[in-house]
Structure 1
Amino acid sequence: MVFDETRDLWAVAEGVAAFFAHESCGKCFPCSLGTPHLHRLVWNWRRGEPKRELLEELFLALERGSLCGLGQAAPWAVRSLLERFEGVAR
């Protein structure tokens, strides 16, 4: 995906998190519980309630505990946004 400077990157991250929460098959707990939680945390972050420590812990749980690539990839967009553009306005 390519965006210009007018695109709200947190809205994109929220949409990506919602996608992963919806697409989880529910087979493993890290993904079935973690992806909706990731979506909620990103939703809260956009509204001024950052919980960076919780996000970092959830990233690890999803990447290490999920049985398939969907759960393992779920945090990538949010992690990338935090690493590269944490100062981007919410």
Structure 2
Amino acid sequence: MRSTQDPALLKAFAAELKARRAVRGFNQEELGFASGLNRTFIAKLETGTSSPSLTSLVLLCNGLETDPAELMHSLMKRYRKELRAKPTTG
């Protein structure tokens, strides 16, 4: 089965998650505890090597005390910037 991962989207999510964690003053362990997720999973999200499930996304939002819709809005802004910065081939 072919991977459907979008590297630009993963990079944008990683940056958004890391920025929001920093604003809250959390390290990865603290965000993991606050959200009920494993620190190593948080690290994989922040390096863009993994993507969250819908459940994980909601748990992260709970841990960050942010609304999922607001997170998605900010994520899409970062994603559009990533797409514009991506070199075109051809």
Q: Tell me whether the two structures share a fold, i.e. TM-score over 0.5.
A: no
Larger radius of gyration: 2
Calculate the TM-score normalised by the size of structure 2. Answer: 0.38
Calculate the TM-score normalised by the size of structure 1. Answer: 0.38
